[in-house]
Amino acid sequence: MVQTTQLKITGMTCDSCAAHAKKALEHVSGVRSAEVSYAKGDATVVMAAETSTDALLAAVAGAGYRAELMDRPGASSGGGDKADHAGRQLHIAVIGSGGAAMACALKAVEQGARVTLIERGVIGGTCVNIGCVPSKIMIRAAHIAHLRASSPFDEGLGATPPVIRRERLLAQQQARVKELRHAKYETILDGNPAIAVLRGEARFKDSHSLSVRLREGGEHEIAFDRCLVSTGASPAIPPVPGLKDTPYWTSTDALASDKIPQRLAVIGSSVVSVELAQAFARLGSRVTILARSTLFFREDPAIGEAVTEAFRAEGIEVMEHTEASQVAFRGGEFMLTTGQGEQRADKLLVATGRAPNTRGLNLEAAGVEINAQGAIVVDPAMRTSAPDIYAAGDCTDQPQFVYVAAAAGTRAAINMTGGEAALDLTAMPAVVFTDPQVATVGLSEQAAHLKGVETDSRLLTLDNVPRALANFDTRGFIKVVMEEGSRRLIGVQAVAPQAGELIQAAALAIRARMTVEELADQLFPYLTMVEGLKLAAQTFKKDVKQLSCCAG
C-alpha cells in the first residue's frame, strides 16, 4: 500500500536546491518517487505506508534545508502561512539587504510568506556600513574634539586641544559598524529559516522571475510571486571636466580614510557635504566648501544662513554661488578652477547627492517604470507600475532616509501578503547632524505657498530659550509655520544644538492636527531645548521677552 505526503521545504534558493532535496528524499527507504518545486517551496512524496515521515524530514535536513509535514495538525501550513489561491506558500524575492529589504523580509515572514533575499555586496546596505552609523560616530568624535579645544566655559575650564589619532578613531568606528551589522543583520538572517540568502547580482527576466549571477560563479533563476526592489543608491558624481581622472573622495572614501588631510575641499551644499565638512574641520583639516547656490538652498533660507554663520565662526570657508569649472590633480594636490579663482587642496570630497542603483536590473523586462533620475516610481503603497513588483528605499522616488526606507519596506510586505498599508510622509522629520543641528518637519512657508496654502509664521531666536542661555550657546532659531484660517501647525524648522531631539514633538503635534494655540498650551519641561517649541508657538499671541521663566 502506498500513500502521498506533502512537505513544505524552506531554505531553497534555486532549482538546483530542489534537485538536491529530491535526490535526498528518493534515497529514503520506502520512497517510490519525489517531486520537489523550488518555486512552490514544497515536495510531493509517494511512499510505502510504513515509511517513516521522520526519515523524510531528516533527509531534507541532511541536504541543508528545513521540512515540515503540510498535513500534520498544527503544522505551519495550517497555522497562518500566507498562501495563494492554490494553497501554496507565497514566495517573495527581495533584492538588497539594507533597511527597506530587512524590514520587508521580516514582516513578510511574520505574515506567513517565505523569502529569498539577494545581496550582491555586503549585508546591511548603506546605513550601517558606509552611511548613518560610521558618519555619526565620526561626527561625535569630532564634536568631542571641538569641545576639548574650545567651549563657552573656557574661562573656568582650561581648554586642551586634543591629539587626533585618526587611525585609532577609524578602528573604533569600524569595530562598531561590524558589531551592529552582525547583530542587526547577519545574525537575524542566519537565525530565520524562512529567509534564504543568495549572494549575487539580480536581474529581471520578466515580471515574475529573476536571473542571479552568483558571487562564486554561475547563474541561478528565481521564480517569485511578489518582489521588492530595494537596491539603494550610490554617490552621484557631477560632470565637471577633469574630475573623473582625479583621486577624489566620495563620502564612502572619506569615512574610510585613516588620515586627516591638511586641506580639504568639498563640492556640495547639502546633508552629507556639510556633515563631513564640519567633522573634518574639527579633526584638524582646513576646509573649503564650494556651494553651487547656498547651503541647504532647497530649505527655508534662514537655515542656510544660520549654518553658514556657524561654520564661518569655526573657520570653515563657505564659498556661495561657486562652482568648479575644471578639476586637476598634479604634484599630489587638487586644483579647482572657479569663478572666484583657483582653489588648492590635498583631498577633494564630492558630495552632490546620491543616484538610485537601478541600472543593470533590466527593469524594463518586468514593466517597472523609472523617472528621469533613474528612481523607481512608487505609489503610497510602494507598488510600482508592475502589479506584483514593489520598491522601497533610496532606489525609489521617496525621500532618502533609512527610517523612511524601513517604514516603506514594512508596508510593502503587508501589501504583498494581502493587507492594505500606505506610507504617509506629511509629518516626516529630518535631521542634519551638524553643530548646530538642522531639523525640519512638515512644510516650509515656500513649500506651503507652492501648494496654495496661506501661512503665518514666527521665528524665535535661541537667545529667547532658557536652555540655550544656560548653555551659553544661542546659535540658531526655531521657526513655526501655521495654516491661516485653521491655525493648524503645518511645519517647523529648527537650527539648534540638539535640534534633532525636539523635532519629533513637532512631528507629533502636526500629526495630531494641533493648532499653534494648543501647542503653546502644552506642558513642556523647563530648561530643555524642546521648550523652545512651546515658546515659538506662544509668540503668535505673546511677546515671550515679557514672560517670566517657564511661564505657562
3-state per-residue secondary structure call for 227-256: EEECCCEEECCCCCCCHHHCCCECHHHHHH
C-alpha–C-alpha distance, residues 433 and 481, integer Å: 23
Shared-domain flag, residues 261 and 367: no
In the residue annotation, 227 being an active-site residue is answered as: no
Is 193 within a domain?
yes
Whether 70 and 45 have beta carbons less than 8 Å apart is answered as no
User: Which of the residues 47, 102, 104, 127 is marked catalytic?
Assistant: 127
Domain harbouring 440, CATH code? 3.30.390.30
Cα 400–Cα 205–Cα 416 angle in degrees, nearest 5: 55
Is 25 within a domain?
yes
Shared-domain flag, residues 249 and 326: yes
In the residue annotation, 104 being an active-site residue is answered as: no
Q: In what order do the strands lie in the sheet with 333-338?
A: 324-330, 333-338, 341-345
Question: How many Cβ atoms from other residues are within 10 Å of residue 469's Cβ?
Answer: 14
Match 514566495 to its residue by C-alpha cell.
91
Shared-domain flag, residues 319 and 260: yes
Shared-domain flag, residues 434 and 539: yes
Match 500566507 to its residue by C-alpha cell.
82
Q: Which residue in 436, 409, 424 sits closest to 510, CA to CA?
A: 424
Domain harbouring 391, CATH code? 3.50.50.60
Question: How many Cβ atoms from other residues are within 10 Å of residue 248's Cβ?
Answer: 20
Q: Where a domain ends, among 416, 444, 466?
A: 416
Range list of β-strands (E), 224-338: 226-229, 233-235, 263-267, 286-290, 317-319, 324-330, 333-338
In the residue annotation, 12 being an active-site residue is answered as: yes
In the residue annotation, 38 being an active-site residue is answered as: no
If phi > 0 it is left, if psi is from -120 to 50 it is alpha, else beta; for residue 190 that is: alpha
In the residue annotation, 132 being an active-site residue is answered as: yes
Is 143 within a domain?
no
| Phi–psi pair at 517, nearest 5 degrees | -70, -40
| Residues near 454 by beta carbon (within 8 Å), at least 6 away in sequence | 448, 483, 484, 485
Q: Which residue in 380, 448, 372, 371 sits closest to 414, CA to CA?
A: 380
Q: Helix (H, G, I), strand (E, B), or coil: what is residue 195?
A: strand
Shared-domain flag, residues 278 and 410: no
Whether 495 and 303 have beta carbons less than 8 Å apart is answered as yes
Shared-domain flag, residues 193 and 304: no
Task: Classify each residue of 474-501 as buried b or exposed e, where b means 16 or more C-beta atoms within 10 Å of its C-beta.
Answer: bbbbbbbbbbeeeebbbbbbbbbbbbbe
C-alpha–C-alpha distance, residues 312 and 140, integer Å: 20
Shared-domain flag, residues 377 and 228: yes
DSSP assignments along 450-497, one per residue:
HTT--EEEEEEEGGG-HHHHHHT----EEEEEEETTT-BEEEEEEEET
Q: Annotate 176-189 with three-state secondary structure.
A: HHHHHHHHHHHHHH
C-alpha–C-alpha distance, residues 130 and 254, integer Å: 10
Is 145 within a domain?
no
Whether 460 and 536 have beta carbons less than 8 Å apart is answered as yes
Shared-domain flag, residues 405 and 493: no
Residues forming a β-bridge with 8: 42, 68
pLDDT at 95: 98
Note down the domain range covering 334: 243-352
What stretches in the chain show pLDDT beneath 70?
1-2, 71-87, 550-552
Is 342 within a domain?
yes
pLDDT at 82: 57
Q: Classify residue 62 as exposed, middle or buried by CB count within 10 Å of its CB (0-12, 13-18, 19+).
A: exposed
Structural domains of the chain, count: 4
In the residue annotation, 549 being an active-site residue is answered as: yes
Is 149 within a domain?
no
Helix axes 99-110, 402-416, angle to 10 degrees: 30
C-alpha–C-alpha distance, residues 294 and 318, integer Å: 9
In the residue annotation, 102 being an active-site residue is answered as: no
DSSP state of 374: S
Q: Where a domain ends, among 352, 367, 395?
A: 352
pLDDT at 78: 32
C-alpha–C-alpha distance, residues 323 and 321, integer Å: 7
Domain harbouring 73, CATH code? 3.30.70.100
Shared-domain flag, residues 209 and 185: yes
Is 60 within a domain?
yes
pLDDT at 83: 55
pLDDT at 77: 33
Q: How is residue 11 written as a grid cell?
A: 531554505
Cα–chain center distance at 130: 11
Is 165 within a domain?
no
pLDDT at 543: 87
Shared-domain flag, residues 480 and 521: yes
Shared-domain flag, residues 441 and 536: yes
Shared-domain flag, residues 305 and 445: no
In the residue annotation, 65 being an active-site residue is answered as: yes
User: Which of the residues 65, 185, 248, 390 is marked catalytic?
Assistant: 65
CA distances from 166 to 10, 162, 351 (A): 46, 12, 21
| Residues near 329 by beta carbon (within 8 Å), at least 6 away in sequence | 245, 246, 247, 335
- Residue 436: asked if its preceding bond is cis (omega within 30°), the reply is yes
